Chain A
Amino acid sequence: MAAPMELSCWGGDWGLPSLHPESLTVMAYAKFSGAPLIVNTVNNSWRAPKGDLPVLVSEDIVISQPAKILNFLRKQKYNADYDLSAKQGADTLAYIALLEEKLHPALLHTFWIEAENYCSVTKPWFASKIAFPLSLYLPGKMSREALNRILLTKGGPPLYSLTEVEAQIYRDAKECLNLLSKRLGTSQFFFGDTPTTLDAFVFGFLAPIYKVCFPRVQLQEHLKQLPNLCRFCDDILTCYFRLTVSGHAPAGQDTADANLQKLTQLVNKESNLIEKMDDNLRKSPQHPPRKLTTLKLAAGGEESSPMSRLSP
């Protein structure tokens, strides 16, 4: 019908279609309302991201903020809030404000300000998606903007140091997660069985916390203690983003790999001990030297056999 709508936004990883909360919100809303969007993820091309992403381009209209993009989609008759009563619409606005005020600062902090996270995960990832000279400048700029925003909105007296501000924003974020969990309860989406704008916003904010593997993860650990929110994210990913094969398997594979790694380390430690014992034995003149093969473990359940091989 209308001209095709193109959305430029940040790409994704770790099973998510996008790492950026606002981009994810818009993508989720488009899926919920059935809007046909052509999604262009920013990759290492010379089309530099102008200003803020996500950006929707339709014919000649360029719209940049998620709230405005959603309004535009609604005007084009892609409305996910069709069945909501007026009061539920009001609740949506209120909960979105809650997310913005309480959860967003902590999200920004986890991504952009926490030094370990920023240096080891966020900066390399974003830098790899942007063309060369800009990649040296843009992640730093985003980090400074995030810090500025947090300090200006949350950093007034009586909180005087960054650590106090951090403590406060994480407390607020955990409280916000608890409130969301209570509100969601056992239902599938926030307002019944069909997802709406609020679900898009909550998903957009929660999914990056849930899925991205950071070194410092206090918010993720708190989120994992709220199983209904985790289930909510997973449901949306499987139903609407069809990432079952690539999205879930890597997560499963990751845990299997982690377990395997731990086991390998343990077994190698034991084999080192045994080698030492063997050396001692060799020095004493009783037994002919025995050669212990180093253990090579294949993927899968071969854990029992090396153990039995080790017992003398």
Chain B
Amino acid sequence: AAEPWPENAALYQQLKEEQILLSDNASSLAVQAFLQMCNLPVRVICRANAEYMSPSGKVPFIHVGNQVVSELGPIVQFVKAKGHSLSDGLDEVQKAEMKAYMELVNNMLLTAELYLQWCDDVTVEEITHPRYGSPYPWPLNRILSYQKQWEVRRKMKAIGWAGKTLEQVLEDVDQCCHALSQRLGTQPYFFNKQPTELDALVFGHLFTILTTQLITDELSEKVKNYSNLTAFCRRIEQQYFEGHEKDSSTIAARSSKKSLLR
């Protein structure tokens, strides 16, 4: 039996127009998509200090009743404990596949986004630093963004991505999109006719990549090469996000707002 989902469930992320970065936006959109797919209403609240409020330091996080859960993985388990699940209909082998593909997206797409945001000097100077510290006065904004940059660069070094060039990173993104495109094929969703958390995760990342303007368009070009992936994003957007005032943006309208993301 499903436990009742409270009316005032809230999802917290950073400020949408000025502060949020590519990778955080992707994660947040993935969680929003997942909750929409489960038919669980949630309000999106933007706070400048969302990252610090989160129990794990990562956005987005949801506040449901008196519990706070962050990141897609734990949120999926939390929602499952409440009695809603998207992947119950899958058999064991399919569940293994789903988990493997989610790891692939996290391992390649998310890391590539982080690399692009924090290790590519041009992007860092022009986009990341100004956006990340924008709610804070000088010198706090510079200190916070340098601190975060140092952290991310350490992590990249530990997993061996620090030595990669931008071309190699884009190659990896291409490989990942190729794999996702092959797996999706001509189906509407990754597993049969029902969306699962994998669809939410892929949608979150790909939609954000397609609609965020960076210094160059190379990243979104890589994704646009695969028409079934862009069709997939459009389909999910139309089905789950249309008619919602906060997110009623088609891909075309969003691209006109692109300049605001700079």
Contact = CB atoms under 8 A, between A and B. Distances in A.
Interface of A: 65, 86-87, 89-91, 93-95, 97-98, 100-102, 145, 148-149, 152-153, 156-158, 179-180, 182-183, 185
Nearest to A148: B158
B56 A156 contact: yes
A97 B179 CA distance: 12
B99 A90 contact: no
Contacts of B185: 87
Given A90-B180, A183-B96, A97 B104 contact: yes
Contacts of B179: 89-90, 93-94
A183 B97 CA distance: 8
Contact of A91 (B55, B97, B106): B97
Given A87-B182, A182-B92, A94 B158 contact: no
A239 to B, nearest CB: 25
B175 interface: yes
Contacts of B180: 90
A147 B185 CA distance: 40
A152 B158 CA distance: 7
A179 B96 contact: yes
Given A148-B158, A153-B155, A185 B104 contact: no
Given A97-B108, A157-B55, A90 B96 contact: no
Contacts of A97: 100, 103-104, 106-108
28 contacts: A65-B160, A87-B183, A87-B185, A90-B178, A90-B180, A90-B182, A90-B183, A91-B100, A93-B104, A97-B107, A97-B108, A98-B103, A101-B107, A145-B158, A148-B158, A149-B158, A149-B159, A152-B159, A153-B155, A153-B158, A158-B56, A179-B96, A179-B99, A180-B96, A182-B96, A183-B93, A183-B96, A185-B93
Contacts of B178: 90
B176 interface: yes
A148 to B, nearest CB: 5
A156 B152 CA distance: 12
Contacts of A89: 179, 182
Interface size of B as a range:
20 to 34
A157 B185 CA distance: 38
A179 B159 contact: no
Interface string B74-111: 00000000000000000011011101110110111000
B6 interface: no
Interface of B: 55-58, 92-93, 95-97, 99-101, 103-104, 106-108, 154-155, 158-160, 175-176, 178-180, 182-183, 185
Sorted from nearest, which 10 A-B pairs have the closest CB atoms? Answer: A90-B179, A94-B100, A97-B104, A179-B96, A90-B182, A98-B100, A97-B107, A86-B182, A94-B104, A149-B158
A39 B98 CA distance: 37
A89 B181 CA distance: 11
Contacts of A148: 158
A145 B100 CA distance: 26
Contacts of A86: 182
A89 B176 CA distance: 11
A94 B109 CA distance: 12
A232 to B, nearest CB: 15
A86 B175 CA distance: 12
A15 B22 CA distance: 48
A308 to B, nearest CB: 53
Contacts of B104: 93-94, 97-98
Contacts of B100: 91, 94-95, 97-98, 179
B97 A94 contact: yes
Contacts of A102: 103
Which one of B96, B176, B179, B183 has the greatest number of beta carbons of chain A within 10 Å?
B96
A169 B25 CA distance: 27
B72 to A, nearest CB: 14
Contacts of B103: 94, 97-98, 100-102
Given A86-B182, A91-B100, 12 more contacts: A91-B183, A97-B106, A97-B108, A98-B99, A98-B103, A148-B158, A152-B155, A157-B56, A157-B57, A179-B95, A179-B100, A182-B93
A156 B108 contact: no
Contacts of A156: 56-58
Contacts of B99: 98, 179
Contacts of B97: 91, 94, 183
Contacts of A98: 99-100, 103-104
B40 to A, nearest CB: 23
A151 B190 CA distance: 33
Contact of B106 (A90, A101, A157): A101
Contacts of B160: 65
Nearest to A92: B179
Nearest to B180: A90
A93 B176 contact: yes
Contact of A93 (B56, B58, B155, B175): B175
B172 to A, nearest CB: 10
A153 B159 contact: yes
A94 B103 CA distance: 7
B108 A158 contact: no
Contacts of B56: 156-158
